[in-house]
Amino acid sequence: MEKSTLDQLRIERSPEKPVQGSKKWIYIAVALVTLAAVAVAYFAGLGPAASIEVRMAEARSSGGVGQSATTVLNASGYVTARRQATVSSKFTGRVTEVLIEEGMEVEQGQVLARLDDSNIRASYNLANAQWVSAQRGLTETQTLLDEARLNFQRTRRLVERELASEQELDRSRAVYGSLAAQLERKKADVEVAARQRDIYALQLEDTIIRAPFAGVIVAKNAQPGEMISPVSAGGGFTRTGIGTIVDMTSLEIEIDVNEAYINRVTSGQGVMATLDAYPDWEIPCHVIAIIPTADRQRATVEVRVGFDELDARILPDMGVKVAFQEVEDTGDSRRSVSGVLVPQAAIREIEDRDYVFVVDQGIVERRAVSTAGARGSDILVISGLVADERVVLDAPPELADGVSVREKKQ
- The DSSP line for 332-345 is -GGG----EEEEGG
State percent of the chain over pLDDT 70: 81
Whole-number Cα distances in Å, 80 to 104, 198, 322, 356, 384: 19, 40, 14, 39, 40
- pLDDT at residue number 100: 93
Q: CA–CA separation, 393 vs 398, rounded Å?
A: 14
- pLDDT at residue number 13: 53
Helix (H, G, I), strand (E, B) or coil at 50: coil
∠ Cα 387 391 395 (to 5°): 160
Higher-confidence residue of 66 and 293: namely 293
> Domain for residue 192, yes or no?
yes
pLDDT at residue 200 tops 80: yes
The answer to whether residues 213 and 189 belong to one domain is: no
> Domain for residue 47, yes or no?
no
The answer to whether residues 111 and 208 touch, using CB atoms and an 8 Å cutoff, is yes
Q: How confident is the model at residue 235 (pLDDT cuts 50, 70, 90)?
A: low
Q: CA–CA separation, 389 vs 356, rounded Å?
A: 11
> Domain for residue 6, yes or no?
no
Query: For 16, which DSSP code?
Result: P
pLDDT at residue 300 tops 50: yes
Higher-confidence residue of 19 and 133: namely 133
pLDDT at residue 336 tops 50: no
**Average pLDDT of the chain, as a whole number:** 83
Residue that finishes a domain, picked among 301, 329, 357: 329
| CATH code for position 348 | 2.40.420.20
Q: Put residue 101 in one of left, alpha, beta given phi > 0 → left and psi -120 to 50 → alpha.
A: beta
Residue 270 belongs to what H/E stretch?
Answer: strand 270-275
Tens of pLDDT, residue by residue over 10-44, are 555 544 444 455 556 666 766 676 666 545 544 54
Average pLDDT (77-93) is 92
Higher-confidence residue of 227 and 38: namely 227
The answer to whether residues 331 and 65 touch, using CB atoms and an 8 Å cutoff, is no
Q: CA–CA separation, 80 vs 64, rounded Å?
A: 31
- pLDDT at residue number 234: 55
- pLDDT at residue number 303: 95
The answer to whether residues 304 and 175 belong to one domain is: no
Helix (H, G, I), strand (E, B) or coil at 201: helix
Q: How confident is the model at residue 206 (pLDDT cuts 50, 70, 90)?
A: very high
The answer to whether residues 280 and 402 belong to one domain is: no
> Domain for residue 24, yes or no?
no
The answer to whether residues 304 and 183 belong to one domain is: no
Q: What is the domain extent for residue 233?
A: 84-115+208-246
> Domain for residue 42, yes or no?
no
Closest CA to 45 of 398, 401, 410, 409: 398
Write phi, then psi, for 277 (nearest 5 degrees).
-75, -25
pLDDT at residue 335 tops 80: no
Helix (H, G, I), strand (E, B) or coil at 216: strand
**143-154 core/surface letters (b: 16 or more CB in 10 A; e: else):** eebeebeebbee
pLDDT at residue 8 tops 70: no
- pLDDT at residue number 358: 92
Amino acid at position 74, single letter: N
Q: How confident is the model at residue 282 (pLDDT cuts 50, 70, 90)?
A: confident
Q: How confident is the model at residue 281 (pLDDT cuts 50, 70, 90)?
A: confident
pLDDT at residue 9 tops 80: no
- pLDDT at residue number 29: 67
Residue that finishes a domain, picked among 150, 174, 205: 205
| CATH code for position 123 | 1.10.287
Sign of CA dihedral 69, 72, 78, 82: negative
The answer to whether residues 359 and 388 belong to one domain is: yes
The answer to whether residues 293 and 161 belong to one domain is: no
Tens of pLDDT, residue by residue over 159-170, are 888 888 888 888
- pLDDT at residue number 60: 86
Average pLDDT (221-241) is 80
The answer to whether residues 395 and 381 belong to one domain is: yes
Average pLDDT (386-390) is 86
pLDDT at residue 66 tops 80: no
Size of the chain in residues: 410
The answer to whether residues 315 and 351 belong to one domain is: no
The answer to whether residues 214 and 106 belong to one domain is: yes
Q: How confident is the model at residue 261 (pLDDT cuts 50, 70, 90)?
A: very high
> Domain for residue 142, yes or no?
yes
| CATH code for position 77 | 2.40.30.170
Flag the least confident range among 49-58, 146-155, 310-319: 49-58
The answer to whether residues 101 and 219 belong to one domain is: yes
Q: CA–CA separation, 319 vs 401, rounded Å?
A: 46
pLDDT at residue 131 tops 80: yes
Closest CA to 100 of 210, 265, 20: 210
Residue that finishes a domain, picked among 246, 273, 298: 246
Q: CA–CA separation, 266 vs 147, rounded Å?
A: 83
> Domain for residue 18, yes or no?
no
Q: How confident is the model at residue 50 (pLDDT cuts 50, 70, 90)?
A: low
Q: How confident is the model at residue 242 (pLDDT cuts 50, 70, 90)?
A: very high
The answer to whether residues 235 and 259 belong to one domain is: no
pLDDT at residue 305 tops 90: yes
> Domain for residue 5, yes or no?
no
CB atoms within 10 A of CB 306: 16
Closest CA to 256 of 298, 288, 317, 292: 298
pLDDT at residue 193 tops 50: yes
Write phi, then psi, for 246 (nearest 5 degrees).
-125, 130
Closest CA to 186 of 139, 143, 231, 229: 139
Q: How confident is the model at residue 231 (pLDDT cuts 50, 70, 90)?
A: confident
Q: How confident is the model at residue 238 (pLDDT cuts 50, 70, 90)?
A: confident
First to last CA, the chain: 99
Closest CA to 257 of 203, 201, 299: 299
Domain tally, the chain: 4
Helix (H, G, I), strand (E, B) or coil at 43: helix
DSSP-assigned beta bridge partners for residue 319:
78
Amino acid at position 3, single letter: K
The answer to whether residues 322 and 174 belong to one domain is: no
| CATH code for position 238 | 2.40.50.100
